[in-house]
Amino acid sequence: MPELLLEDPDATSRLARRIAPHLRAGDVLELHGGLGAGKSHFARAVIAARLAPLGRHEDIPSPTYTLVQTYDLGGIELWHADLYRLGDPDEIAELGLSEAFETAIVLVEWASRLGPEAPSRALSLSLDFAPGDAEGRLLRIEPRGGGWDWLAGVLGGAKGAA
């Protein structure tokens, strides 16, 4: 499992921007980590990077209370889900996430709450505070299923690979 040291929030944003153009329909990014670890920051950077080529620079709210925000990327949707307040994994189907896993780009914060509804193909990104560094984050990346061949090139160009 690759691990990167992201020195500060800007490094997190840079990596998200490098990943964003490679994401296609059916790609799921599972974002793991405690409160304040950078899940929302990473997700917002991915979303902003996908909206910018469309000439859209929007305020990107956290879906903490709505659970899901969707963005039309012109031919593909991007779903941003925050499952922190999810009561039961059975609610995944009610939110429409099961279908979105097949047809959209989906970013899922608090992905451990998916339980048995987690897709078999996903890119799991775990953010943790770097020891002794308030700004830094350790990012562990674990691809599940096929279709992530582009990831090695993105990570090879990322500064701070451990």
**Quick check: 92 and 98 in contact, CB under 8 A?**
yes
In this structure, which amino acid lies at residue 31? L
Task: Reduce the DSSP state of residue 125 to 3 states and report it.
Answer: strand
**What is the domain partition of the chain in residue ranges?**
3-156
Average pLDDT, the chain: 90
* Partners of 20 in the β-ladder: none
Mean pLDDT, rounded, for 81-98: 85
Mean pLDDT, rounded, for 106-111: 96
pTM over 0.75: yes
For the domain made up of 3-156, give the CATH fold: Rossmann fold (3.40.50)
- Distance between CA atoms of 115 and 111, rounded to whole angstroms? 8
Say yes or no to pLDDT of 65 above 60: yes
**Quick check: 62 and 83 in contact, CB under 8 A?**
no
Banded model confidence at residue 116, pLDDT cuts 50, 70, 90: confident
- Distance between CA atoms of 138 and 65, rounded to whole angstroms? 27
Strands 137-144 and 122-129: antiparallel
